[in-house]
Amino acid sequence: MSENLSQNLPWLGRRLTVVDSPDSSLVGRSGCVIDETMRTISIKEATPATQDYRKVVFGKASIKFQLDDEEIVIDGSKMQIRPEDRINRRFKAEPVGE
């Protein structure tokens, strides 16, 4: 999937994995996206010790993440927009490394 397509598709029900964050305790956390607001993403994460699940809320501004094991990394700070507006928005392509 191209980066623009990933950014514009709904994220609910997709698997999210945090790949970078200023808070190192968030890196590597993953789960199913259950809610998204303008500034946050909530996931349902399995607890390793038990078979229970817990809701974890991330601030979009503080994480970079991947959806469904794609190679594209999405910068959450650039996605601070309501989900219903993000779906119809056109995003500028970022220049490829120099």
**pLDDT for 8-28, tens place per residue?**
888 999 999 999 999 999 999
Sign, CA dihedral 21-13-54-40, equals positive
Q: What pLDDT does 93 receive? A: 64
Which domains occur in the chain, in start order?
3-80 (2.30.30.210)
The set of residues, in sequence order, having a beta carbon less than 8 Å from that of 26 and lying 6+ positions away, is 18, 58, 62, 63
Secondary structure class of 23 (helix, strand, coil): coil
Give the distance, in angstroms, between the CA of residue 1 and the centroid of all CA atoms in the same chain.
15
Q: What pLDDT does 94 receive? A: 64
- On whether the pTM is more than 0.85, the answer is no
Q: What pLDDT does 84 receive? A: 86
The values of phi and psi at residue 65, to 5°, are: -145, 165
Digit-coded pLDDT (tens) for 40-94? 999 999 987 888 999 999 999 999 999 998 888 999 998 888 888 887 877 666 6
Q: Which two three-digit tokens encode residue 88? A: 């119809």
